[in-house]
Chain A
Amino acid sequence: MSEYQHELDASGLNCPLPILRAKKTIASMNSGEVVKIIATDPGAVKDFEAFCKQTGNELLSSGEAAGKFEFQIRKQ
Chain B
Amino acid sequence: MAKRMKAAERRASIIAVSKVLFADKGFHGVSVDEIARRVGVSPAVLYQHFTSKDDLYEAVLDSLAAPRETYVEATLDGPDDFASVLSRVTRVFIDRVEEDPDYFRMELQSALEGGDIANRFFASRWQSIADYIEYSLRELVQENRASVVNERTAALLFQGLIREAIYNKCIINSERYKETTLQNLVQQLLQLFLQAINYKE
Interface residues of chain A, those whose CB is within 8 Å of chain B, are: 13-17, 19-20, 23-24, 43, 46-47, 50-51, 53-55
Contacts and interface: CB of A to CB of B under 8 A. Distances in A.
Given A20-B80, A24-B80, A14 B72 contact: no
Nearest to B131: A14
A46 B72 CA distance: 9
B75 A20 contact: yes
Contact of A20 (B68, B73, B85): B85
Interface of B: 68-69, 71-76, 80, 85, 89, 127-128, 131-132, 135
5 contacts: A14-B131, A15-B68, A43-B68, A46-B68, A47-B71
Output the residue of A15, A17, A46 with the most chain B CB within 10 A.
Answer: A15
Contact of B132 (A14, A24, A46, A50): A14
B56 to A, nearest CB: 21
Contacts of A55: 76
Q: Is the interface of A mostly helix, strand, loop or mixed?
A: helix
Given A14-B132, A16-B85, A47 B68 contact: yes
A19 B75 contact: yes
Contacts of B74: 16
B76 A17 contact: no
A13 B135 contact: yes
Contacts of B127: 14
A53 B68 CA distance: 13
A21 to B, nearest CB: 10
A16 B73 contact: no
A50 B72 CA distance: 7
Contacts of B131: 13-14, 17
B128 A47 contact: no
